[in-house]
Amino acid sequence: MPRFTVHIRDEWLAVPCRDTSNTIQWLGLEALKRYVKNKPDNGGITAVKDARFVVRRCQGLGLLDTEDTIEDVLEDNDFVELAIEGDTMSPDFIPCQPGVSHLTAAYKEPGEYISLDGNSLTSTDLVNLGRGLYKIKLTPEAERKVVQSRELWTPLSKKTKVNIISVVYGITTGFGKFARTVIPVSKLKELQENLVRSHSAGLGNPLSPERTRMLLALRINILAKGHSGISLETLHAMIQAFNASCLSFVPEKGTVGASGDLAPLSHLALGLMGEGKMWSPKSGWADAKYVICFLQGLALINGTQMITSLGAEAVERAQAIARQADIIAALTLEVLKGTTKAFDSDIHSLRPHPGQIEVALRFRSLLDSDHHPSQIAESHRFCDRVQDAYTMRCCPQVHGVTNDTIKFVQNIINTEINSATDNPMVFAERGETISGGNFHGEYPAKALDFLAIAVHELASISERRIERLCNPSLSELPAFLVNEGGLNSGFMIAHCTAAALVSENKVLCHPSSVDSLSTSAATEDHVSMGGWAARKALRVVEHVEQVLAIELLAACQGIEFLRPLRTTTPLEKVYELVRSVVKPWIKDRFMSPDIEAVHRLLLDQKVWQVAKPYIDKYQTEYIPESRPVSPTAFSLDPPASPRKRVRHE
């Protein structure tokens, strides 16, 4: 039976078609039915039959007339994309002209290069490569090392030091349980091809083009270290594929994280050898037809690059949202009329964790001070409240350990980004190839489990602050931050959404790296499960971003009820940024687009960019710390010195 793969928003759907005389309109509606069936809210689509959409082939990006029959314009197993008119529901939504693929609309060929040497790439660089901001090239030193390691064992080189009949794992032997099976010389090329084909056994949705670019770039960086035995010609071909954004279809599931990420990296190599599916900005998804590089299978598929590339994105996004969480919490504290005394530098110098000190400093730079006075803070200066709830008072302690954990994880990820994780390892200077265990993903797996646990706490404490904003007995604001409560529900269900995401994170924070299953007939008898650690860390970070987006919306809505009083200058700038994309909540309306719009601000780090100049100025100009009088602090006369005491007596 003919089958077609339809891309809707962020999902791929297989649609069987018994009768290819049906129209493209039928195919689109059938795909939409399958899409909404698995969505609790029908994906925001009220009536499938009334949905207006355009359909295009992924290969060639040709628009399809909805009245054409399927058999006239499509071939069996074609990939097509369906774009709903006016759709903004996808988290990857990019505004574009009707009929223009959002998969390709964002891609612009970069003009700048990053030079790879296998030693100096950072997680920030890798994420930027994934976003398509740079092309890549090798340094001359990296090229020299690649050539030198290749010459060590290649049977085609007159300078080879390892005879072709030598037993080298994965080069002249089978793999895993078959490591003791020596392969005849005549079948060595077939061995490498079979390796990639058989190991391409992953399942699930494909990695996005951005993440596949990261995966390919990181594999190139590791090969550039010169310890894999890859040929320079193959490596140059991989670089050409990256620079043209020709990307393999890599399913997200299937790695146990030792020996490295075999299934995902095999799918990456499969496209490069002319099999499977490939994607490019010009063609979309299509069958791979051209052999991009001469195959050296084992050198391409043995490493932790899937775990590490996804981990790099997770740690970069975690760092971005952690900084912005301080700003959002400071705004909430203002709305809830909290005190700044808990952020006094003397308190935090007595417990000098770097993250705690850093967060307290950010709060001081944003909240009421002689430098940035706040009318809201002044309005409750002499209230009878003694101290604030933990969700406000303990932000430096809770947010601080998240910051310190992110730095710890970032250090491990950056080390892994520039580590040789092949097996066997080629040591050209020693004239040896040695089998080792650098492919084991325990380091990034453990680190990313730590990351998920630490970053989750930002959402956990944020959800409690949302509760305080929405609860009139705690906020002194209208219930659920809306007028005419009852007629309007305001932020009631937005808070429920935040609670649901936090609860889901609690399950996702169970560490995957505590698990291990023996594979490959007990040859690979302990594995890291790092692939799931990376994928769920990313999901946890995304949930944290979304919860904080809800808090930011709620805090800005709370400001509306305190007008005409104004907060500090930096927090007013944050308020103005939010209001540039979301209007105040006067009465109930469709809320999901508002949350998505603010989530996009956080993804683009716009909140950080607005507040950062004020934070930097406070730090660099050594502005004296303000310690205004309030009921939460009291002072005593200092005790008399012993000499004065004697005189007094």
Q: Position of tokens 């891609």?
A: 107
Q: Position of tokens 């990053």?
A: 114
Q: How far apart are CA 323 and CA 366, in angstroms?
A: 12
Q: Position of tokens 């023996």?
A: 518
Q: Does residue 642 lie within any of the structural domains?
A: no
510-534: average pLDDT: 90
pLDDT tens column, 479-493: 999 999 999 999 999
Beta carbons of 359 and 392 less than 8 angstroms apart: no
pLDDT tens column, 581-596: 999 999 999 999 999 9
Q: How far apart are CA 636 and CA 330, in angstroms?
A: 29
- pLDDT at position 596 is 95
pLDDT-based confidence at residue 449 (cuts at 50, 70, 90): very high
pLDDT tens column, 110-129: 889 999 999 999 999 999 99
Question: Is the link from the previous residue into 259 a cis peptide, with omega within 30 of 0?
Answer: yes
Q: Is the pLDDT score of 634 beyond 80? A: no
Q: Averaging pLDDT over each range in 143-157, 301-315, 619-633, which range is the top one?
A: 301-315
pLDDT tens column, 257-274: 988 899 999 999 999 888
Beta carbons of 335 and 559 less than 8 angstroms apart: yes
145-174: average pLDDT: 66
Q: Does residue 627 lie within any of the structural domains?
A: no
Q: Position of tokens 């040859």?
A: 523
519-528: average pLDDT: 85
pLDDT-based confidence at residue 367 (cuts at 50, 70, 90): very high
Q: Which residues contact 334 (CB under 8 A, 6 or more apart)?
A: 367, 368, 374, 376, 377, 555, 559, 567, 568, 571
Q: Is the pLDDT score of 64 beyond 80? A: yes
Q: How far apart are CA 614 and CA 617, in angstroms?
A: 5
Same domain? 195 vs 341: no
Q: What is the CATH number of the domain that holds 61?
A: 3.10.20.90
Strands 3-8 and 79-84: parallel
Beta carbons of 270 and 293 less than 8 angstroms apart: no
Question: Which of 539-548, 568-577, 629-638 is least confident?
Answer: 629-638
User: Catalytic residue at 35?
Assistant: no
Same domain? 328 vs 380: yes
Same domain? 159 vs 33: no
Same domain? 464 vs 333: yes
pLDDT tens column, 179-233: 778 888 778 778 888 888 999 999 999 999 999 999 999 999 999 999 988 999 9
pLDDT-based confidence at residue 88 (cuts at 50, 70, 90): very low
Q: What percentage of the chain carries pLDDT values higher than 90?
A: 61
| Listed residues 84, 101, 129: the one ending a domain | 84
Total domain count for the chain? 3
Question: Which of 156-160, 306-310, 526-530, 623-627 is least confident?
Answer: 156-160
Same domain? 247 vs 349: no
Q: Position of tokens 């507040």?
A: 611
Burial of residue 357, with CB atoms counted within 10 A of its CB: 0-12 exposed, 13-18 middle, 19 or more buried: middle
Higher pLDDT, 623 or 2: 2
- pLDDT at position 87 is 67
- pLDDT at position 316 is 98
- pLDDT at position 481 is 95
Residue 583 identity: K
Same domain? 499 vs 606: yes
Q: How far apart are CA 189 and CA 566, in angstroms?
A: 72
Using H for helix, E for strand and C for coil, what is the string for 557-618?
A: HHHHCCCCCCCCHHHHHHHHHHHCCCCCCCCCCCCHHHHHHHHHHHHCCHHHHHHHHHHHHH
- pLDDT at position 101 is 41
Cα angle, residue 398 at apex, residues 392 and 400 outer, rounded to 5°: 115
Q: What is the CATH number of the domain that holds 481?
A: 1.20.200.10
Nearest to 302 by CA among 252, 332, 259: 259
Q: Which residues contact 179 (CB under 8 A, 6 or more apart)?
A: 169, 170, 173, 523
Dihedral angle over CA of 611, 614, 620, 623, nearest 10: -140
Cα angle, residue 113 at apex, residues 110 and 118 outer, rounded to 5°: 135
Same domain? 293 vs 325: no
Average pLDDT value for the chain = 87
- pLDDT at position 394 is 97
Q: Is the pLDDT score of 97 beyond 90? A: no
Q: How far apart are CA 57 and CA 68, in angstroms?
A: 13
Q: Does residue 96 lie within any of the structural domains?
A: no
508-529: average pLDDT: 89
- pLDDT at position 629 is 62
- pLDDT at position 57 is 83
- pLDDT at position 104 is 47
283-307: average pLDDT: 80
308-314: average pLDDT: 97
Q: Which residues contact 610 (CB under 8 A, 6 or more apart)?
A: 570, 573, 574, 577
H or E element, residue 432 = strand 432-434
Residue 559 is part of which domain span? 311-422+432-621
- pLDDT at position 643 is 47
Same domain? 171 vs 243: yes
Q: What is the DSSP letter of 372?
A: S
Q: Does residue 100 lie within any of the structural domains?
A: no
- pLDDT at position 296 is 75
- pLDDT at position 639 is 57
pLDDT-based confidence at residue 397 (cuts at 50, 70, 90): very high
Q: What is the CATH number of the domain that holds 290?
A: 1.10.275.10
Q: Does residue 199 lie within any of the structural domains?
A: yes
Nearest to 328 by CA among 236, 462, 440: 462
| Listed residues 255, 281, 302: the one ending a domain | 302
Same domain? 194 vs 120: yes
- How many Å separate Cα 557 from the centre of its chain? 28
Same domain? 291 vs 360: no
Higher pLDDT, 109 or 121: 121
Give how far Cα 463 sits from Cα of 128, 397, 497, 536, 555, Å: 31, 17, 10, 20, 12
Q: Which residues contact 113 (CB under 8 A, 6 or more apart)?
A: 134, 135, 136, 137
Q: Is the pLDDT score of 605 beyond 60? A: yes
Q: Position of tokens 């716009």?
A: 606
Q: What percentage of the chain carries pLDDT values higher than 70?
A: 89
Q: Dig out the tokens for 256 from the structure.
A: 């146990």
pLDDT-based confidence at residue 628 (cuts at 50, 70, 90): low
- pLDDT at position 102 is 43
Q: Is the pLDDT score of 161 beyond 60? A: no
| Listed residues 302, 320, 354: the one ending a domain | 302
Same domain? 214 vs 262: yes
Give how far Cα 7 sits from Cα of 4, 24, 68, Å: 10, 14, 19
Q: Does residue 120 lie within any of the structural domains?
A: yes
Q: Does residue 92 lie within any of the structural domains?
A: no
Higher pLDDT, 635 or 38: 38
- Which string of DSSP letters, residue by residue, matches 118-171? SSS--HHHHHHHHTT--EEEE-HHHHHHHHHHHHHH-TT-TT-SS-TTS--TTT
Beta carbons of 111 and 133 less than 8 angstroms apart: no
Q: Does residue 97 lie within any of the structural domains?
A: no
Q: pTM for the full model?
A: 0.81
98-105: average pLDDT: 41
pLDDT tens column, 318-363: 999 999 999 999 999 999 999 999 999 999 999 999 999 999 999 9
- pLDDT at position 424 is 85
Q: Which of 107, 113, 134, 169 is catalytic?
A: 169
- pLDDT at position 649 is 45
Same domain? 259 vs 175: yes
